[in-house]
Amino acid sequence: MTVKAALYNIIFGADKSNTPSSSASTSPLAQVPRQVLANLTAHSVHALQNLCDYRAKPGSEPCPAAIPAYRRAAVLLALFAGRNGELYVILSKRSARLRSHGGDTAIPGGRFEPTDRDLEFTARREAFEETGLPIDPTKAVKLCELPPFLSANELVVTPFVMLLTDHSIQPHLNPQEVDSLFSLPLVSFLYHNPPRPLRQSLHLPPSPEPEALRYMPENEVSPISDWHTCRDILWLDNNRVRRHTFWDERNPIRGLTSDILILAAAIAYGEKPLFSLTSPGQPTQAQLITLAFNSPLAVKKFRVKPRMQFLKAPDPHRTNDELQQPHDERPDFPLAPPLDPSPNPNGIDTARITKPKL
């Protein structure tokens, strides 16, 4: 039995039909047509199962009840089977006409509305209104809910990770909110200097070009890179917080969007990012949310101006010639850990399922 066939049996049960029976696994992947999973590599299926199995740790539970509804928001992190069977994520470039974060890269989503029954519906509704992504839960299957994040304007944002099952979907962009859509491999958000196979998918040259590196923004702690940079800021009682930017040729991915994508990739592939994620002593997202709402006045405000302070900016005339030049990191993509070797109701010995070779 192949690795992929064994994975299918774990997800769907021993039944070979494309439609899972009522006795099949309760995994969200059981709702996904088998032909959709057939377009993914075995380690991408592992990654999806890791997302399905994810549960928030104590202290990072869903949006606290104390947060007023008008300061809540949700985003829909939509995954699909992309090039070479890898998981890709859909991102949007916000309209330059928007007052807040105009022109930035974003994950489709928005504020909670009084008519929304819950935050998951908010994510689905906003993504549909902005981009035409399906609101139908059979076409966008929920894999997991991530812990809430605090945005720069101090909204409490809950991400929902979903898998698109209908590849015939045609986007319909709302020009008032979105200029364009693009996609990137989810695994790319774990790398500081991507390996060559991944660089090709990111439309980067086979190796970093010295001339391009000379004017890249300065990194806080890492060698210079043409893909990932980071810089610390002061935020909420002068706490030092690390902000990450990924330099896609179409539009940089930074701030809250980067933080959400890094966490989703780390959960999916069972790997820590290959760069310094946080500053020493940096508060968790749950702690930042508490700091942002620690006064009655803060809770009452509908909109908050960002309270971030950038540290001293690098010298704009400085070049990076003297800095350590990058090298390709691990040549293999990070794989999800082996499946739990404990017995399962379908009778498959998961201990014998090894990581697939790329």
Residue 338 lies in a domain: no
pLDDT given for residue 254 in this prediction? 93
Q: Please state the pTM of the whole predicted model.
A: 0.82
CA distance 323 to 197: 25
Residue 332 lies in a domain: no
Task: For residue 120, give every residue at least 6 positions away whose Cβ sits within 8 Å of its Cβ, in sequence order, or none.
Answer: 74, 142, 145, 160
CB atoms within 10 A of CB 196: 12
Pairing relationship of beta strands 109-111 and 72-81 according to DSSP bridges: antiparallel
Instruction: Give the tokens for residue 345.
Output: 């109701």
Domain that holds residue 110: 3-14+28-294
Q: Is 295 exposed, middle or buried (0-12, 13-18, 19+ CB in 10 A)?
A: exposed
pLDDT given for residue 130 in this prediction? 93
List, in sequence order, every residue forming a beta bridge with 158; answer none if it has no partner.
Answer: 74
Predicted confidence (pLDDT) per residue in 92-117, tens digit = 998 877 666 667 899 999 999 999 99
pLDDT given for residue 257 in this prediction? 96
pLDDT given for residue 174 in this prediction? 84
Split at pLDDT 50, 70, 90, the class of 217 is confident
Predicted confidence (pLDDT) per residue in 62-86, tens digit = 777 778 888 999 999 999 999 889 9
Residue 289 lies in a domain: yes
User: Which CATH number does the domain housing residue 84 bear?
Assistant: 3.90.79.10
Number of domains the chain is built from: 1
CA distance 133 to 127: 6
The lowest-confidence range among 69-73, 162-166, 349-353 is: 349-353
Split at pLDDT 50, 70, 90, the class of 273 is very high
Split at pLDDT 50, 70, 90, the class of 295 is low
Residue 95 lies in a domain: yes
Residue 319 lies in a domain: no
Residue 328 lies in a domain: no
Residue 63 lies in a domain: yes
Q: Are 218 and 318 in contact (CB under 8 A)?
A: yes
Residue 239 lies in a domain: yes
